[in-house]
Amino acid sequence: MHTKKFMQGNEACAEGAFYAGCRFFAGYPITPSTEVMEIAAARLPKLGGVFIQMEDEIASISAIIGGSLGGMKSMTATSGPGFSLMQEGLGFACMTEVPCVIVNVMRSGPSTGFPTGPSQSDVMQAKWGTHGDHPAIVLTPASVQELFHETVRAFNLSEQYRMPVIILYDEIVGHMREAITIPAPGEIEVIDRLRPTCSPAEYKPYDTSHGDVAPLAAYGEGYRFHVTGLYHGEDGFPTNNTKLIEEAGLRLLRKVDNNRDKICKNEELYLDDAEIGVFAYGVSAKSAKFAVKELRKKGIKAGLLRPLTIWPFPEKAVEELSKQVRAIIVPEMNLGQIVYEVERVAQGRCEVKGVLRADTEPIKPAQIIESITGNGFFPSASKMNEMMVERDMLDG
Amino acid sequence: MSMPTEETRPLAKKKKKVPFNYSPYIRGGKLPHIWCPGCGHGIVLKSLLRAVQTTGLSQDDIAVISGIGCSSRTPGYIDFNTLHTLHGRALAYATGVKLAKPKLKVIVTTGDGDALAIGGNHFIHACRRNLDMVIMVYNNSIYGMTSGQSSPTTPLGTTSTTGRYGSIEPTFDTCQLAQAAGATFVARGTAYHFQELEKVLHEAIMHKGTAVIDIIDACPTYYGRFNKYKTATEMMEKIEKEGTVSVKQAEKMSPQELEGKLLRGIIYKSDRPEYLDEYNKLVERVQKK
């Protein structure tokens, strides 16, 4: 039997993780993600899992990677500076192909910024923050219910493709409270990593005979294998062989590139006959949805494309949209990040305009509507200052 | 100060009869190792493998985890559950592995730079938690892999590529640091006193809690050349043999005689509760409610 509950976004994230089988959490307190950790601290001992508060975020991501190699589904949660500290471990998890889930509840500004203020300004960092070429899967849920489901999906993708998956949302989604339905066990699919079926003597942790994703043994179960952050061959041992290095690097990216259709997930609203597209993710998509509905009432054919997976970028969907509409509006709570991705994919087939806001206040539907109806259909996004003035007027 | 010491004599006698077979512990095709001629790391590895054998633990039940540096290449050569992580982070990874698989005996091989500089925070907190693991600090007073920069144990006045005019920084004493931070087994060994090291490592592996062993070890390629040591053996004699005294010998020595010498052997031991024991008790208590 499923249950109905009223809960906070961060709580739904933690509950989604437990539903997915996460039994290992290591973290370090930081606003506005701390509640995820506090709930893990309260719940995991009862579930027979492991909770540990580490000395910093570097240690936290390191511990969850260790936990995952010990065979447990593992997670950490952080924000802002903590996410910056985790970049090193994130790269290690990509390179060594260890499944784990990292939650980043976005707050405002570089450095300490405005810790309690929401933003969507880590969206490029989530893709490019760690050094070197590497794959990324980043999910952007926009409601409390969705946080639960997307956290389960994050674990599934992580286990399926043997890589870290980031759940990226902002302080508003993290702290807002909504009624949600918790599905009964078994109601949503839960995927576990492939385990080796061969003998320990035959086992290779990066065996490509299974395709791009090899089964992963756990430490202490008879398969004595080696894991290193150095480039390595199929047997897991370091290599200087340029051919093997190239193959390994390409395979890491291929895991995501070849499975875009399975990893990408979008919500579409009124796109069939849309002349104006709005591309919005996370909390900004809530306002965008409202705005699009209002515009429809005014007879303007606006539609919404909302990615629940922001990385890999939904190139196919944006390309289709760019062929159909006159302009794509991109509201985001930063000074311009995803808008340039949309521009890259649209390749000049339509106008692409950002509705940007970085003062820690959410983008309001009126701002999105204004950007479409005001200033002759499409005001220039480069006129940021003017838009800020408009926004102030709208705020009254 | 002649060898062998009183503590190691009985063990040395026993070993004479049975030649030690290293091959079950060495991974096929992974040697030669990267260590330079004269480096002490190979001797330390020998002591470790011999110690592991004396504990009777299965290779399946041991995880060897490292960070980055010369000593951190150890896990790649030996047949256990092995993990070569990031610079300074070995203890945090080890914490995760141990908590997820409590039956594993976790041994961390790390260096003075890895454990005490970039990993200093993880080091003190690992000691404080007292989670069951062995931390072997291969202490050669220099960054070897990056070609000879100063580390937190580079002695005052000595030369490195980043301390060209002599180091002006005081050093950490690994053992004092570990004990102050809460480690429940603190010892020191050297590559020179390899039989004694084997015995200390055996005790460390059998200990329940965080065991730190500071292992004085020579880097003739960098530290030696920069500081005018002619040979690796000269380094071993001057730094490891003459620079240390066993805990037992020290009891009979005056403070003046002990000046400038490092203690060797088991320096501190306590039976403070181990982390996982406490965590398991907590789980039991919480689940009863």
Question: Domains plus CATH for chain B?
Answer: 36-288 (3.40.50.970)
Residue pair B166/B176 in contact (Cβ under 8 Å)? The answer is no
pLDDT digits (tens, 9 = 90+) for A84-142: 999 999 999 999 999 999 999 999 999 999 999 999 999 999 999 999 999 999 999 99
pLDDT digits (tens, 9 = 90+) for B140-151: 999 999 999 999
pLDDT category at A161 given cuts 50, 70, 90 is: very high
Average pLDDT over residues A353-357: 96
pLDDT over 80 at A219, yes or no: yes
pLDDT over 50 at B207, yes or no: yes
Query: Nearest by CB to B97, which of A56, A66, A92?
Result: A66
Structure ipTM over 0.90, yes or no: yes
- State what percent of residues in chain A have pLDDT above 70: 94
Residue pair A255/A213 in contact (Cβ under 8 Å)? The answer is yes
**CATH of region A267-395:** 3.40.50.920
Closest CA to B180 of B210, B138, B201, B216: B210
And the tokens for A36? 């995820």
Are B76 and A68 in contact (CB < 8 Å)? no
Are B279 and A58 in contact (CB < 8 Å)? no
Rounded to two decimals, what is the model's pTM?
0.94
pLDDT category at A392 given cuts 50, 70, 90 is: very low
Distance of CA A215 to the CA centre of its chain: 24
| Residues of chain A contacting B97 with CB distance shorter than 8 Å | 66-67, 69-70, 219
* Sheet arrangement for strand B262-269: A226-228, B81-84, B62-66, B105-111, B133-139, B210-216, B185-190, B262-269, B244-246
- State what percent of residues in chain B have pLDDT above 90: 93
- The pLDDT of residue A61 is 98
- The pLDDT of residue A102 is 98
- The pLDDT of residue B210 is 98
Rounded to the nearest angstrom, the minimum Cα separation between A301 and chain B is: 53
And the tokens for B128? 């404080």
Closest CA to B270 of B119, B127, B122: B127
Average pLDDT over residues A212-224: 98
pLDDT category at A388 given cuts 50, 70, 90 is: very low
And the tokens for B197? 């090291």
pLDDT over 50 at A393, yes or no: no
pLDDT digits (tens, 9 = 90+) for B222-260: 999 999 999 999 999 999 999 999 999 999 999 999 999
Per DSSP bridges, beta strands A50-53 and A73-78 are unpaired
- The pLDDT of residue B289 is 81
Least reliable range by pLDDT among A118-122, B2-6, B95-99: B2-6
- The pLDDT of residue B188 is 98
- The pLDDT of residue A367 is 95
Average pLDDT over residues A11-32: 98
Closest CA to A235 of A243, A225, A244: A225
Average pLDDT over residues A143-166: 98
Least reliable range by pLDDT among A332-346, A372-386, B89-103: A372-386
- The pLDDT of residue A374 is 78
Interface with chain A: mutation pick from B57, B58, B77, B82, highest number of A CBs within 10 Å? B82
- Mean pLDDT score across all residues of chain B: 95
Instruction: Give dist(CA A216, CA A201) in Å, integer.
Output: 14
Delimit the CATH 3.40.50.920 region(s) of chain A: 267-395
Residue pair B199/B4 in contact (Cβ under 8 Å)? The answer is no
Average pLDDT over residues B169-186: 98
Rounded to the nearest angstrom, the minimum Cα separation between B25 and chain A is: 11
- The pLDDT of residue B14 is 56
DSSP state of A232: B
* Bond into A312 cis (ω within 30): yes
- The pLDDT of residue B17 is 65
Instruction: Give dist(CA A227, CA A97) in Å, integer.
Output: 9
pLDDT category at B16 given cuts 50, 70, 90 is: low
- The pLDDT of residue B13 is 56
pLDDT over 70 at A377, yes or no: no
- The pLDDT of residue B1 is 41
Q: What is the DSSP string of A199-218?
A: -GGG--TT-GGGSSS---PP
Average pLDDT over residues A61-80: 98
Delimit the CATH 3.40.50.970 region(s) of chain A: 3-182
pLDDT over 70 at A174, yes or no: yes
pLDDT over 60 at A43, yes or no: yes
Interface with chain A: mutation pick from B33, B59, B72, B89, highest number of A CBs within 10 Å? B89
Task: Specify the CATH number for A3-182; select among 3.30.1340.10, 3.40.50.2000, 3.40.50.970, 1.10.3210.10.
Answer: 3.40.50.970
pLDDT digits (tens, 9 = 90+) for A252-298: 999 999 999 999 999 999 999 999 999 999 999 999 999 999 999 99
Quote the Cα angle for A329-A330-A334, to 5°.
Answer: 145
- The pLDDT of residue A2 is 87
Chain B positions touching chain A (beta carbons under 8 Å): 27, 30, 59-61, 63, 65, 75-76, 79-86, 89, 92-101, 103-104, 121-122, 125, 279, 282-283, 286-287
Are A48 and B283 in contact (CB < 8 Å)? yes
Instruction: Give dist(CA A64, CA A50) in Å, integer.
Output: 10
Distance of CA B255 to the CA centre of its chain: 26
pLDDT over 60 at A44, yes or no: yes
